[in-house]
Amino acid sequence: MAPSVNGTLIASYYACKRELWYMAHEITPEQDNSFLALGRLVEEESYRDEEKGLFLGDIRIDIARCEEGTLIIGEIKKSARSRRSGIMQLYFYLFSLKERGINAKGEVLFPREKRKISLVLNDAIEKELQKAIREIEQIISRETPPRREKIPLCTPCAFRDFCFA
């Protein structure tokens, strides 16, 4: 049985389809990868005054706060290098919350760069996510991972040895 689509799989879909397949098949990345460790540290050490690590079903929200009666959820990323995947991951969380009757806004946060990108879900993004979810389900149902492609995100990737060993 294929795993249900979650935020991590959405982020992987927008970063690398091969990584997506590995993650869905519970093939774990190299845990002592310095880029993974840095990401964990940035998340732990940033925004200490915010409510962190909230779970709603299969959604893990990095931070949340209420501002003028509106729920704002945030996704913390170590750098804007994987900007698109972080944005789509947060849109997926907003979409999932909306399906549960919770309207929220989002912020992708890059604390080391002192930047944030504010997000509001719209119909076009919802349609894109629905298409991405269908494609993710197709990819993870395959018996083998998609073909290896050399992309800029390969250098820091914790799955690099799986692809290029």
For 62-94, what is each residue's pLDDT tens digit? Answer: 888 889 999 999 998 877 877 899 999 999 999
Number of domains in the chain: 1
- pLDDT at position 51 over 70: no
Strands of the sheet with 104-110, listed across from one edge: 51-56, 59-67, 70-76, 104-110, 115-119
Tokens read off for 43 = 């998340």
Tokens read off for 64 = 């949340």
Length of the chain: 165
Tokens read off for 17 = 């389809």
- pLDDT at position 37 over 60: no
pLDDT at 1: 45
Q: Which residues pair with 55 in a beta bridge?
A: 60
Domain harbouring 56, CATH code: 3.90.320.10
pLDDT digits (tens, 9 = 90+) for 108-163: 998 878 899 999 999 999 999 999 999 999 999 999 999 888 877 777 677 777 67
Q: How far is CA 12 from CA 72, 85, 105, 113, in A?
A: 23, 7, 22, 22
64 inside domain: yes
1 inside domain: no
2 inside domain: no
pLDDT at 56: 79
- Report the alpha-carbon distance of residue 54 to residue 16 in Å, rounded: 26
- What's the domain range around 28? 7-164
Quote the pTM value.
Answer: 0.85
